[in-house]
Structure 1
Amino acid sequence: MITEENKLSIRNFLKPGDLGQVAALHGKIYGEEHGFPIGFEMYVMESLIEFYRQFDEERDRVWVVESKGRMVGFLLLMHRNENSAQLRYFIIEKPFRGIGLGKELMQKWMEFFEEKNYQSAYLYTTSGLDPAISLYERYGFVKISEEKTENFGFPMLEILYRLEKA
Structure 2
Amino acid sequence: MTPISFADIKIRTTLNPGDLGYIAYIHGRLYAKECGYGLSFEGYVLDGLKDFAKEYDQEKDRIWICEHNDKIVGCLIAHRRNEALQFRYFIFLPEYRGLGLGKHLVQQFITFMKEKEIKHAFLWTTEEQLTAVSLYTKYGFQLTEEKKSNSFDKPLREFRYDLLFN
Match in the other structure for 1:137: 137
Describe the SS at the equivalent of 1:158: strand
**What's the offset of the Cα at 1:41?**
1.1
User: What's the TM-score once normalised by structure 1's chain length?
Assistant: 0.94
Q: How does 1:57-96 map to 2 (within 5 A)?
A: 57-81=58-82, 83-96=83-96
* C-alpha distance in 2 between matches for 1:84 and 1:148: 24
1:112 corresponds to 2:96? no
**Does residue 29 of structure 1 match 2:30?**
yes
SS of match in other structure, 2:6: coil
| TM-score normalised by structure 2 residue count | 0.94
The 1-side partners of 2:6 and 2:149 are apart by: 37
Counterpart in 1 of 2:6?
2
For 2:59 and 2:16, how far apart are their aligned partners in 1?
A: 17
Give the fraction of aligned pairs with identical amino acids, expressed as a percent: 40
**AA paired with 1:38?**
L
Could you tell me which residue of structure 1 aligns to residue 158 of structure 2? 158
SS in 1 for 2:20: helix
| Aligned structure 1 segments of 4 or more residues deviating by more than 3 angstroms | none
Unaligned runs of 5+ in 1: none
Aligned to 2:18: 17
> In the aligned structure 1, how far is the partner of 2:77 from the partner of 2:115?
15
1:76, CA displacement in angstroms?
0.8
Query: 1:120-140 CA distances to partner (integer Å, 9 max, x unpaired)?
Result: 010000001111001000111
What do residues 28-83 of structure 1 show as CA deviations (whole Å, max 9, x unaligned)? 111111110121111111110101111111010000000100000010111111x2
Instruction: Please provide the CA RMSD for this pair.
Output: 1.0
